[in-house]
Amino acid sequence: MATFVLTVFLLTFGAMLAYTFRKPAMAIPLGIMTYGYKQVASLALPMLQSQGALLNYAMAGMIAMVFMYNLFFRNPGVTCRTASGKAIQLAVWIFLLYFWVTLLWSPYYGSDPMKFVPYLLVYFAMLPALMDTPVPMLRAFHGCWFLTILAVLGLMASPAFHLSPDLGRMTVHFEAGRVNEASPLAIADMGALLIIMSVMVLLPQDSFPRDSKLFRAARKTLAVAGIGLGLWLAFNTSRGETMTGLACGCLLFALVKGKTTSQSLTWLVGAGVGLLLTLAMVFTLVPKGGLSESAERYSPSAIAEGKDDRVGLSSHAIEMGLSSTKSFIFGKGARACEKELGMWPHNHFVQAFGEAGIIGLGLLIICCLMTLRFGFQTLALVRKSGDSSALLFTALALSLLIYQIIVLSKKGSLTFTDTYMWLSIGAFSFDRTQIWLLYTAREKASQPA
């Protein structure tokens, strides 16, 4: 069974990669899910277990080729077109350039920082520029949603996916070439994104106007199953992604249902209460002891221990930034946490202060606030327009952005592409939506009365 599901996943994944040349919008969700899909593809194709970077290179190469093809034959532009979108792009580039300059006084200087450049160019500069208008983007996310369900089913059926005694999380245990374990956080992220995308599928939309009632009912039934699968996957791999994925799923629902901010808040509270009651009922029905191993990480003592570890890492990075006036203003330099503390602090905002000082922290916060403000401005415009597809896509983009800002405050490193990629994806999402609204408004105005 596992072999069959994994084979179907791999074939579908390959077909969707090829399809990106016809529909470049498909590259966006596939690029977002690269590291989650990598874990499942490695089970379907054991060669990837010993050649871990091979799929990364394949995905990056695909994105680069689609970008070049799109640029020469469709010419959508490589920058945002609205003033707000351009301002966000400029702000993120300023932060990036400053963070790069801090290598000059970093204790990590000379450590081959150039190895991050290709991924930065692909996932920050190229991938977001493939953003399309709302309807094609929603269809692309629907395709990614179905592929993610296949990926989760493949994991569930595989005997290689089981509880790690060292990590206390469910993870993939690779045995081909060398024995190692996959990243449980990448798997947790895939589960949380499945929850959010499944909520997207449940909501009313006009992206598939020709679908029959039976097909729509089947899709919504599968969406409910997708929420359950995503919750199961995230629950067994990471607390943070589980809670944040559920919260942002409720946020997506509230943003679409509410016609004003106050209505959205009411829907958000209602959705949160309903979710809590549903979860309480589900866990009551689970046989006693059935979740003992997985739920152990949710005990008060485990949560307190995890919190203490995070606070300890953050406090060391903050102390590093406060060690001198120069460090407070300019920081210790990029990757200084890895050199002086042995690892990054698992909080991008704390790391920005420790490595880039108050200047770097201020720039990063400004980038996040500008992108969020742009998103809510776009949401207000979409609500006035009455375009349901634009509303759903804007709410989805906002929910995904907020999810990532929360999650990135607890994991990863600023030297990775995640932070910049999501800020850029958010900027392009809202930019393309506003341009689309302007275009459709002009079309309606030009039509005879």
CA distance readout (Å), 30 to 25, 288, 317, 421: 9, 39, 34, 13
pLDDT tens for each residue of the chain, 449 residues long: 678 888 899 899 989 988 888 888 999 999 998 888 888 888 888 777 666 677 778 888 888 888 888 877 776 677 899 999 999 999 999 998 898 888 888 876 555 555 666 777 888 888 999 999 999 999 999 999 999 999 999 888 888 887 777 667 778 876 644 445 567 888 889 999 999 999 999 998 776 767 777 888 888 899 999 999 999 888 888 888 888 999 999 999 999 998 888 888 888 888 888 888 777 766 665 554 445 455 566 666 666 666 666 677 778 888 888 888 888 999 888 888 877 777 777 788 888 898 899 999 999 999 999 999 999 999 999 999 888 999 999 999 999 999 998 887 777 677 777 788 899 999 999 999 999 999 888 777 776 65
Residue 292, C-beta contacts closer than 8 angstroms, at least 6 positions apart: none
Strand partners, 180: 174
Beta strands in 38-183 (DSSP E): 161-163, 170-174, 180-181
Three-class SS state of 74:
coil
Instruction: Return the number of other C-beta atoms located less than 10 Å from residue 135's C-beta.
Output: 20
Three-class SS state of 170:
strand
Q: For position 76, what pLDDT does the model report?
A: 65
Burial of 204 (0-12, 13-18, 19+ CB in 10 A): exposed
Q: Which two tokens stand for residue 173?
A: 């245990």
Residue 132, C-beta contacts closer than 8 angstroms, at least 6 positions apart: 24, 25, 76, 140, 432
Q: For position 177, what pLDDT does the model report?
A: 40
Q: How many residues does the chain have?
A: 449
- Phi, psi at residue 181, to the nearest 5°? -120, 145
Residue 241: how many CA atoms within 13 Å on its side-chain side? 23
Residue 201: how many CA atoms within 13 Å on its side-chain side? 28
Q: Which two tokens stand for residue 305?
A: 């221990």
Asked if 5 and 154 touch (Cβ cutoff 8 Å), the reply is yes
- Phi, psi at residue 267, to the nearest 5°? -60, -35
Residue 113, C-beta contacts closer than 8 angstroms, at least 6 positions apart: 100, 103, 334, 335, 415
Q: What is the CA radius of gyration of the chain?
A: 22
Distance CA 407, CA 402 (A): 9
- Phi, psi at residue 163, to the nearest 5°? -70, 130
Q: Which two tokens stand for residue 165?
A: 């005694």
Q: For position 4, what pLDDT does the model report?
A: 86
Distance CA 435, CA 52 (A): 40
Chain centroid to Cα 360, Å, comes to 23
Q: Which of 392, 375, 379, 382 lies closest to 441, judged by CA?
A: 382
Distance CA 16, CA 71 (A): 20
Q: For position 56, what pLDDT does the model report?
A: 77
Question: Pseudo-torsion of CA 275, 281, 286, 288, nearest 10°?
Answer: 120
CA angle at residue 407 from 405 to 409, to 5 degrees?
A: 70
Q: Which of 150, 152, 193, 155 lies closest to 31, judged by CA?
A: 193
